[in-house]
């Protein structure tokens, strides 16, 4: 491996100070399950590795009234073992349980999964469907970026060189409705997704009152399907309508072909998974 | 690159070593401390052969920088047996014929110890789910699952 300096600060303030001084020279690492293979393959040549995994103040899952906050270094295993995530934010729990394997989940963090900005990031679709925002900080400055505006392309984000994700937030109102996450991979373990879908659905008198859909691995970024959502809102769900909505999905997705699947197959499957998610959630609500 | 001295516990014993920031835990364990039970296979966290316990949790030593284990406790396959007495999982793997070429075995057993600690009554489905990241290229999964199941409370022999 190439050589680099290594610092493991114990506080967020220390990290922000180092980021201000080093800017793009520094590479933040937490779990290391993305960063270390990237260094090995010379995709990133860091001069300084800034290890934030030991910063206690960034590891939390908090619910205050209807406001949820999850710290950036919360691991995927932390999400699975959290009682309130399981009981009250199950859509995220479902995604965490299908994430890689227990060995990776013990180290991989939710902040790292988002900052990596892979179109296949498993925590992104459920968080997009929950209208999540990212708490982003640099020295002396805080801002919030909606997750839907955060991803700019594969491995490209709206983060500046001196900024870090400190937390993720969302509101409970989307959690009172049934939600589901479906992942299609080439196998169950350690699969990078072919297509994923996360959906939150509220039906009132057989009408779609609220729907939020996001998909992974169907576009250069994890994608919120606003057009398909708008199309379904306030309509009576029936088989014909679902078929029409699938066409909206086909229009919105823009997948690539790679070793896992062809673009045509991904496009086709995105409609199928969309329909499956709708059927799963309507069966739960009826 | 400058070396840093770190101290950590390896299989119950304190170790003091000098490492470079880029040194991987697997290389430290195998090449500096000569414990070759931990296996190097894919090197990118896909196969589980390099699994060790870090403060009791199974992690991939090929994706862990040695410098990050300062102050922590590492258990490798060499640390499971008590004197001459094998760990129940090691005995079960032998009894069930769950070892073929043996390359995945250390990782399998370490992940399984963490599983049994978390879920002593794990069902077959739970075992398969938890072991999903440890690959056996001889595909001896049936015996591996059987061996782990035999160590659960209420597991068959």
Domain assignments of chain A as residue spans, ordered by start? 5-51, 61-171, 179-285
Residue B156 within a domain: no
pLDDT in tens, A135-154: 999 999 999 999 999 999 99
- Angle, vertex CA B24, rays to CA B23 and CA B30, nearest 5: 105
Residue B9 within a domain: yes
Q: Which fold has domain A5-51?
A: 3.30.43
Among all residues of chain B, which has the CA nearest to that of A36?
B63
- Strands A67-71 and A61-64: what pairing? antiparallel
B74: β partners: B10, B54
Q: Poorest-confidence range of A60-64, A175-179, A238-242, A270-274?
A: A175-179
Contact B132 A32 (CB under 8 A): no
pLDDT in tens, A241-251: 999 999 999 99
Chain A contact probe: residue of B5, B44, B59 with most A CBs at under 10 A: B59
Give which of A68, A57, A116, A118 is closest to A92, Cα–Cα.
A68
- Do A112 and A100 contact (CB within 8 A), yes or no? no
For residue A286, pLDDT beyond 60: no
The domain tally of chain B equals 2
Say which CATH class A61-171 falls into: alpha beta
Q: Which fold has domain A179-285?
A: Enolase-like; domain 1 (3.30.390)
Instruction: Say how many C-beta atoms besides its own lie within 10 A of residue A283's C-beta.
Output: 9
User: What's the whole-number mean pLDDT along residues B122-142?
Assistant: 96
CATH number at residue B40: 3.10.20.30
pLDDT in tens, B11-41: 999 999 999 999 999 999 999 999 999 999 9
- ipTM, interface predicted TM-score of the complex: 0.93
The residue behind tokens 């589901």 is: A180
- The reported pTM is 0.95
Please report the pLDDT score of residue A89 as a whole number.
93
Q: How far apart are CA B52 and CA B71, in angstroms?
A: 16
User: What's the whole-number mean pLDDT along residues A110-130?
Assistant: 97
**Cross-chain CB nearest to B130 (options A39, A102, A190):** A102
Q: Poorest-confidence range of A55-59, A99-103, A259-263, A282-286?
A: A282-286
Contact A190 B133 (CB under 8 A): yes
Residue B75 within a domain: yes
How many angstroms separate the Cα of A161 from the Cα of each of A28, A246, B108? Answer: 10, 39, 40
Give which of A102, A127, A124 is closest to A190, Cα–Cα.
A102
Domain boundary among B36, B61, B79: B79
């Amino acid at each position: 491996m190439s050589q680099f300096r290594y610092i493991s600060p114990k506080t967020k303030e220390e990290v922000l100070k180092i980021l201000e001084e080093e800017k793009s020279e520094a590479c933040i690492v937490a779990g290391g399950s993305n960063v270390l293979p990237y260094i090995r393959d010379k995709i990133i040549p860091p001069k300084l590795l800034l290890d934030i995994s030991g910063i206690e103040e960034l590891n939390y899952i908090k619910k205050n009234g209807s406001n949820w906050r999850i710290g950036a270094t919360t691991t995927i295993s932390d999400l699975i073992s959290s009682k309130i995530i399981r009981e009250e934010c199950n859509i995220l729990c479902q995604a965490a349980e299908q994430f890689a394997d227990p060995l990776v989940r013990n180290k991989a963090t939710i902040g790292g999964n988002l900052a990596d900005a892979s179109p296949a990031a498993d925590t992104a679709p459920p968080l997009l469907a929950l209208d999540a925002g990212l708490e982003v900080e640099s020295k002396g400055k805080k801002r919030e970026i909606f997750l839907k505006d955060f991803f700019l392309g594969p491995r490209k984000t709206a983060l500046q060189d001196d900024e870090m994700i400190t937390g993720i937030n969302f509101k409970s109102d989307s959690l009172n409705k049934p939600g589901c996450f479906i992942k299609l991979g080439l196998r169950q373990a350690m699969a990078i997704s072919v297509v994923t879908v996360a959906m939150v659905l509220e039906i009132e008198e057989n009408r779609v009152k609220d729907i939020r859909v996001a998909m992974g691995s169907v576009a250069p970024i994890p994608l919120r399907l606003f057009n398909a959502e708008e199309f379904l809102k306030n309509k009576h769900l029936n088989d014909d309508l679902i078929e029409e909505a699938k066409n909206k999905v086909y229009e919105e997705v823009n997948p690539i072909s790679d070793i896992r699947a062809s673009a045509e197959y991904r496009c086709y499957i995105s409609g199928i998974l969309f329909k499956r998610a709708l059927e799963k959630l309507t069966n739960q609500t009826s | 690159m400058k070396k840093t001295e770190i101290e950590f516990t390896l299989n119950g014993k304190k170790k003091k070593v000098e490492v470079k920031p880029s040194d991987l835990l697997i290389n430290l364990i195998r090449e500096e401390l000569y414990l070759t039970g931990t296996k190097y296979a894919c090197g990118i966290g896909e196969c589980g052969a390099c699994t060790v316990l870090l403060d009791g949790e199974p992690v991939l030593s090929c994706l862990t920088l040695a410098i990050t284990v300062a102050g922590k406790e590492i258990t490798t396959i060499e640390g499971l047996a008590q004197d001459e007495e094998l760990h129940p999982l090691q005995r079960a793997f032998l009894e069930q014929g769950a070892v073929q070429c043996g390359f995945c075995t250390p990782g399998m057993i370490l992940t399984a110890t963490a599983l049994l600690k978390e879920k002593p009554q794990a069902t077959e489905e739970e075992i398969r789910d938890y072991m999903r990241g440890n690959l056996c290229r001889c595909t001896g999964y049936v015996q591996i699952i059987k061996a782990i199941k035999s160590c659960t409370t209420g597991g068959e022999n």
